[in-house]
A and B are shown apart, each in its own frame.
Chain A
Amino acid sequence: NAGVMQNPRHLVRRRGQEARLRCSPMKGHSHVYWYRQLPEEGLKFMVYLQKENIIDESGMPKERFSAEFPKEGPSILRIQQVVRGDSAAYFCASSPFTGGAGYEQYFGPGTRLTVT
């Protein structure tokens, strides 16, 4: 099992472009979480998805950000019209069951987005 995969590892975008971050969960995991880490801050929850469903998007900015986890393929975090404040490390995690209750979330290596 290769673990949670994220690509690209590093992404540079100019202001106004779109950023697409991909996350492939561990084999057998159907729950995906996205977190964002701004400089000097801890990881902050963004969105929780199951296959084809958004379960909790309470941490997503209201505009420009969207996420999906299709029936086939990786989960995608999309940021439209990026701004400098979007520069951060974006982490994906997956779990086999609903989180909480002690179920471990397995993290990917992260994608570092830099907006110039």
Chain B
Amino acid sequence: AQRVTQPEKLLSVFKGAPVELKCNYSYSGSPELFWYVQYSRQRLQLLLRHISRESIKGFTADLNKGETSFHLKKPFAQEEDSAMYYCASTNTDKLIFGTGTRLQVFP
């Protein structure tokens, strides 16, 4: 069965520090990978997807098929990055979500 694992429930860093939120997936095919973000009191929204290979708000994520990982990275964290981050995959229509990582960025 397709599964997405986010090993960290909480990640705390200081402003300006590098950030890496881990995501591993298990699927034998070629899934599409996404990162969704939920800021406080806001709805879940798409942050980036691997097929577009873009950088959003300074975040990037590289799909590593050998390690089946799709880690989210940002070189210098900002306080406004504090939020819940969900990694998700799909090979059909439904999204399979990880349990999420809460990122706290302290001033």
Contact = CB atoms under 8 A, between A and B. Distances in A.
- Interface on chain A toward B: helix, strand, loop, or mixed SS? loop
Interface in A1-27: 3-4
A108 B43 contact: yes
Contact of B93 (A55, A104, A109): A55
Given A33-B93, A42-B97, A43-B97, A102 B49 contact: yes
Report the contact-size class of chain A (Cβ under 8 Å from the partner).
20 to 34
Interface string A22-64: 0000000001010100001111110010000001101100000
A104 B46 contact: yes
Contacts of B36: 107
Interface of A: 3-4, 31, 33, 35, 40-45, 48, 55-56, 58-59, 91, 93, 98-102, 104-110
